[in-house]
Amino acid sequence: MSTTEIPIAGESIRLGQLLKFASVVEDGADARAVIEAGEVEVNGEVDTRRGRQVRPGDTVTYAGETFAVVAEA
């Protein structure tokens, strides 16, 4: 399984926004649906909170893809 780095500006980004930014969901409604269904993991644990703040150093896994959150250069 490969890991894709997702650079973010600022200290954190909401989980739902990250999924949209990574282009793995179409919109906020899709993000909410997959998060609430327990299909998204943050740092290896299922998280059902769309507003969960993810920060550089966190990893998000969805649909077999892993995204590493990194600070924007």
Question: Which residues, 6+ apart, have CB-to-CB distance to 3 below 8 Å?
Answer: 59, 66, 67, 68
From the list 13, 25, 22, the residue with the least C-alpha distance to 51 is: 13
pLDDT (tens digit per residue) in 18-43: 999 999 999 999 999 999 999 999 99
From the list 61, 47, 46, the residue with the least C-alpha distance to 4 is: 61
Q: What is the pLDDT of residue 1?
A: 63
Q: Report the mean per-residue pLDDT for the chain.
A: 95
pTM of the model: 0.92
Name the residue ranges covered by the structural domains of the chain.
3-71
Residue range 3-71 forms a domain whose CATH class is alpha beta
Helix (H) or strand (E) holding 7: strand 3-8
Q: Average of pLDDT values for 42-63?
A: 96
Question: What is the identity of the amino acid at 35?
Answer: I
Q: What percent of the chain has pLDDT over 70?
A: 99
